[in-house]
Amino acid sequence: MKNPAVKLGVYALVITIAWTLIEHFLGYNSTNHEIGQYTRQLGAFVFWITVIVAIVQARRQQGGSLTFGQGMKAGRIVSFVYSLGITAWYCLYGELINTQYRPTLIAFERAKLDSAHAAPDVIAAKMKEVEMTSGGSFLSYVFLFVFMFLSGMLVAIITSLILKRKQKTA
């Protein structure tokens, strides 16, 4: 892997997979969703940081200059590699490794709503959202890929705008 952006996408993916396995063995994705609802965010933060790092590295490779397009290219590569890999990983994880993730998450979210005495329409809407985003269907995995890719691109847009710098003329 010569391309630093590809490398960073793979690094973020490996860290997220390792973190998911740690969460799995701690029960954060089955018996302890109270903590897991927060710890599951770590992978996304690692991903977004790697998008930023890829753009910083792209600027460094250009001798301190960076066009918006160069920044976006680095961000797009990291986002695509990570989004594709994480979608495959979560499909494997949810469908083969932790088949109880989805049902326990749905039960956890329902219990939260019941304890808050949420209205039936609020409960129905939230349950539909949880079912749509917690795996188990082709569409949920497409949604995961699209969401992760677009969130990475949003970070890339912001970072590229902040870090763009014209090439110094001699």
Q: What are the boundaries of each domain within the chain?
A: 4-163
- The one-digit pLDDT tens for each residue of the chain (170 residues) are 689 999 999 999 999 999 999 999 999 998 899 999 999 999 999 999 999 999 999 999 989 999 999 999 999 999 999 999 999 999 999 999 999 898 999 899 989 998 999 998 998 898 888 888 787 788 889 999 999 999 999 999 999 999 988 766 55
Joined together, the tokens standing for residue 137 give 């269907």
Q: Please provide residue 66's backbone torsions phi and psi, each rounded to the nearest 5 degrees.
A: -160, 125
In 3D, which of 165, 145, 148, 152 has the Cα closest to residue 56?
A: 165
Residue 104 carries which side chain, given as an amino acid letter? T
Q: What is the pTM of this model?
A: 0.88
